[in-house]
Amino acid sequence: MVTEALLTHGDSYTAVSLHGHRVSPAMRRRIAEHPDPAIRDAYAGFVRTMVERGVPMSIEDLVEAYNRVPTELVTASDPKVRAMVAATWRDRPVTVQLALLTDPDPGVRAAATRSEHPGVPDEYHERCLADPAVQANIARRLPLTFDQFARLLATGDEAVLHAVAGNPHLTADMVTHLQGSEDPHVRVAVAYSRHTAPETRDRLLALVEAEDEAGSDDAGLALRWSPYSPSWLRNAPLAERLTYLQCPHVVFRREVAASGDLPDQAWRQLDDDPDVSVRRAAAHRPDTPPQVLLRLLRAHGDLSRVRPMLVDHPNFPRHALRGFVEEQDPRVRVLALKDPELPPAELRRLAASAESFLRASTARHPNIPTDLLELLLTDPEPSVADDAAANPLLPRAQMDRILAKAGL
C-alpha cells in the first residue's frame, strides 16, 4: 500500500527509494512502465549522479542503473563508470583486473589498486611501481626490494613516502633508512615497526608528541588518525607479546589485548589497564568474566561502531540491563534498551530524557506502549519522530493519518 501510494502521488525524489528488493517484481514492472520518465528513471538517475560525483555505489547498484553486466561496464566510455566498477567489483576475474590496470585513465588505474584484493599480478609490479597514479597504492603493501624502495622515495611524493613508511614488509635496513625522516607520519610508522628498538621508538614518538603539543596539525593527525599500527604484534610469539604489557605506548598494549591466548595473569593486568581502549579490546575475548564486562560498561558505556558490541557478549549478564536505567551517564543508560522486555514505566522514563538519541532509541523499542509511540511522533527532533514512525508497533490507523497528512 505504501509503495502504491508513493508511486501514485510521489515525485522523482520519493521514487528513488523504489528499487531492488524494496519493491515486488510486479511493482518494478509498474515503475518501468510509468508514463513519467522522472519517476521511471529516478533510481538510475540517482546512481548516475552519484557516479559523476565519485560517491561510492555498489556493483549491484551500477548493474541496475545502467542495465549492463559488470563485464560490459568495464568497457563503458565514461572513465568514472569504469573507476566505480574498479572500486566496487571486488571479486572480479584476473582478466578484468588486468584491463583495469592498463586503463588509459589514471583514475581507473588508481581505483583498481586501492584495495588489497584482487591485487596486482607479479608481472605487473614494476609497471605499477613506475605509474604515478598507483604508486602509493602499491607501495603500501607490496614486498619491496631495496632498489624499489629507494626509487619510490626518490619520487618526492608525500603520499608515496607515507605509503612506503607503513608497508608491513619493510626490512630492517629500510626502517633504519627512514628513521632520520622529520615527517611526523613517517616517524610514527617507523616507531610502530617490528624492527625499531624500544629506545628509538620512544624517541620518535616523543618528537611527534612534542610537535603535537606545540600545535602541529600534522603531528596530531599522525598520532591519532594515521592508518599505522603495530599489527605484526598480534602474530608475534607469546613470550614477545607479554613483554609489551608494560609498554608506555597504548597502541602496543591494545594490540596485545587483541590476542586470544594470553595467560590469566596477563588478562587480569589488561582488564585493569589505565586506558579504556585497552580494556575494551581485552573484553572482546571469548571468556571475559561477566563482572569485568559489567564493570566496564557501567563505567564507560559501549561503542556501537565496534561489532560485536560488548553488551552482546555471551558472558554479559543480561539480567543486569534493567538496572542501567538508573545510571547518570546517558551513554550508559541507553544500554537498558537492549532489554527487549523493558517495562513500559522504564521506557517512559527514557522517553523523557533530554538527549534525543535516548528518545530515538526508545522509539525503536519492541515493547514500547502505543500511546508513548504516538507521543514520540510529535517529538521536536525529526530523527526521533522518524524512528517512531518506522516502528512496526505503530497502529495502522496512525500510519494512514501520516500518509494522508503528507498527501500520499
Q: How far apart are CA 172 and CA 19, in angstroms?
A: 54
Q: Is 215 left (phi over 0), alpha (psi -120 to 50) or beta?
A: left
Q: Are 358 and 372 in contact (CB under 8 A)?
A: no
pLDDT digits (tens, 9 = 90+) for 131-143: 999 999 999 999 9
Which residues, 6+ apart, have CB-to-CB distance to 277 below 8 Å? Answer: 250, 254
Q: How far apart are CA 313 and CA 189, in angstroms?
A: 33
Angle at 356 between CA 354 and CA 362, to 5 degrees: 100
pLDDT tier at 16, thresholds 50, 70, 90: low
pLDDT digits (tens, 9 = 90+) for 24-82: 666 666 666 666 666 667 788 889 999 999 999 999 999 988 999 999 999 999 999 99
What's the confidence (pLDDT) of residue 241? 97
Task: Kindly state the cell numbers that stand for 393.
Answer: 508497533
How much is the mean pLDDT over the chain? Answer: 91
Q: What is the DSSP secondary-structure string of 212-279?
A: HHTT-HHHHHHHHT-S---GGGGGS-HHHHHTTTT-SSHHHHHHHHT-S---HHHHHHHHT-SSHHHH
- Gyration radius from the chain CA atoms: 27
pLDDT tier at 3, thresholds 50, 70, 90: very low
- Residue whose C-alpha is closest to residue 84's, from 115, 113, 62: 62
Is the confidence at residue 86, as pLDDT, over 80? yes
pLDDT tier at 2, thresholds 50, 70, 90: very low
Is the confidence at residue 15, as pLDDT, over 70? no
Number of H helices, E strands in the chain: 29, 0
What's the confidence (pLDDT) of residue 408? 59
Is the confidence at residue 8, as pLDDT, over 80? no
What's the confidence (pLDDT) of residue 70? 95
What's the pTM?
Answer: 0.84
Q: What is the dihedral of CA 230, 235, 240, 241, to 10 degrees?
A: 70
What's the confidence (pLDDT) of residue 6? 47
Average pLDDT over residues 83-88: 96
Task: Kindly state the cell numbers that stand for 45.
Answer: 538517475
What's the confidence (pLDDT) of residue 28? 63
DSSP 153: H
